[in-house]
């Protein structure tokens, strides 16, 4: 009887070990797929760029996946242009060919109100007769976006470098469509952009310049609306803690790195004000920006 029980126990241990090995192999397979998608999409971004003037971006250890059981890393050399061909697209609504839509980004900590305010702002502009679309990153409906969604909902595990590059690839795969929309006169209201990617990854301890490198060359926003709210206040809002990054200490670090990234395109709005007051400020800043872009303000590239 004892030998029978011991045999059953050994079988159970072997089964657990086998399942563990299978899971590690599955994680490694998923991770390699992520690497492949990121690499392909970042290279694909070059198709929308002028290749005459290039800047080399070396991502040493960019795809280091040692945390998932391998010591190998991929060293990728991407040559990304820092000059976009100046194209003019015919405007169907009779505007000047230089006139275009505005790229307006809303940034802030988790639960700062970005998503709600993005939707309200897009609705406001549409009511004023502007051509407008509401976008959000990560775009979870793409192939890369689905991988990101699994990670954010704690259903998969990836190391910090890999998930950062997936976030970047998710933005690059939309770059061409973004530029086409803007040049055709559509204003884009974007919930999160490259600043989120850099701030969140840097908050994990990654070098901030390394984090900015794969974002370099994306379209630069015409306006960044930052909803400023203390992490403690954000934590009091509904459903806080559902996703991976909704942790108070971590959000404090994110807020610090947002401060480092601020530049002249940013407008800081107190997210603790009543919703109507926040809406009023966002609308004023946005209308001013849209008017400037309709007068022919040229597009520019991020961090170049």
Per-residue pLDDT at 30 exceeds 50: no
Res. 45: pLDDT tops 70: no
pLDDT reported for residue 295: 96
Q: Is the dihedral of CA 259, 261, 264, 270 positive or negative?
A: negative
pLDDT band at 67 (very low <50, low <70, confident <90, very high): very low
Q: What is the CA radius of gyration of the chain?
A: 22
Mean pLDDT of 31-38: 52
Mean pLDDT of 193-206: 97
Label residue 260 exposed, middle or buried (CB < 10 Å: 0-12, 13-18, 19+). exposed
290 vs 100: CA distance, rounded Å: 9
Q: Which two tokens stand for residue 114?
A: 């970005």
Q: Is the dihedral of CA 174, 108, 162, 145 positive or negative?
A: negative
What's the confidence (pLDDT) of residue 246?
84
Strand-strand pairing, 54-59 and 132-136: unpaired
What count of Cα atoms within 13 Å lies in the side-chain half-sphere of residue 301?
Answer: 22
Lowest mean pLDDT among 79-88, 106-115, 132-141: 79-88
User: What integer pLDDT is reported at residue 240 of this predicted model?
Assistant: 66
As a whole number of angstroms, the distance between CA 196 and CA 25 comes to 31
**pLDDT attached to residue 11:** 57
Question: Do 304 and 291 form a contact (C-beta atoms < 8 A)?
Answer: no
Kindly indicate the confidence band of residue 69, based on its pLDDT and cuts at 50, 70 and 90.
Answer: very low
Q: How far is CA 177 from CA 161, 181, 186, 188, in A?
A: 26, 6, 11, 11
Is 60 exceeded by the pLDDT of residue 140? yes
- What span, in angstroms and rounded, lies between the C-alpha atoms of 200 and 4? 53
Q: Which pLDDT belongs to residue 9?
A: 54
Which segment of 15-24, 254-263, 267-276 scores lowest on mean pLDDT? 15-24
Average pLDDT over residues 50-67: 36
- pLDDT grade for 271, boundaries at 50, 70 and 90: very high
Burial tier of 186 (Cβ tally within 10 Å: 0-12, 13-18, 19+): middle
Q: Output 85 or 146, whichever has higher pLDDT.
A: 146
| pLDDT tens sequence across 124-139 | 999 999 999 999 999 9
* Mean pLDDT value across residues 186-203: 98
Model confidence at 76, pLDDT cuts 50, 70, 90, reads very low
């Amino acid at each position: 009887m004892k030998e029978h029980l011991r045999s059953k126990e050994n079988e159970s241990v072997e089964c657990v070990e086998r399942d563990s090995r299978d899971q590690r192999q599955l994680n490694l397979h998923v991770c390699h797929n992520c690497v492949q998608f990121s690499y392909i999409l970042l290279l694909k971004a070059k198709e929308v760029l002028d290749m005459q003037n290039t800047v080399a971006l070396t991502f040493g250890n960019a795809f280091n996946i040692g945390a998932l059981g391998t010591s190998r890393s991929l060293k990728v050399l991407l040559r990304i242009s820092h000059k976009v061909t100046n194209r003019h697209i015919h405007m169907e609504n009779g505007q000047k060919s230089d006139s275009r839509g505005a790229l307006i980004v809303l940034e802030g900590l988790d639960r700062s109100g970005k998503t709600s305010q993005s939707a309200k702002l897009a609705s406001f502009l549409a009511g004023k007769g502007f051509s407008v679309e509401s976008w959000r990153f990560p775009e979870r409906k793409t192939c890369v976006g689905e991988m990101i969604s699994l990670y954010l909902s704690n259903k998969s595990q990836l190391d910090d470098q890999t998930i950062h590059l997936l976030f970047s690839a998710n933005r690059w795969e939309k770059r061409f469509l973004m530029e086409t929309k803007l040049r055709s006169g559509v204003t884009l209201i974007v919930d999160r952009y490259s600043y989120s990617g850099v701030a969140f990854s840097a908050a994990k301890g990654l070098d901030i310049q390394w984090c900015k490198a794969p974002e370099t060359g994306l379209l630069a926003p015409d306006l960044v609306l930052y909803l400023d709210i203390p992490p403690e206040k954000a934590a009091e809002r509904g459903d806080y803690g559902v996703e991976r990054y909704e942790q108070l200490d971590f959000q404090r670090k994110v807020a610090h790195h947002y401060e480092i990234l601020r530049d002249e395109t940013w407008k800081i709005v107190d997210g603790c004000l009543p919703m109507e007051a926040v809406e009023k400020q966002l609308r004023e800043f946005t209308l001013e920006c849209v008017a400037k872009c309709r007068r022919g303000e040229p597009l520019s590239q991020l961090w170049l």
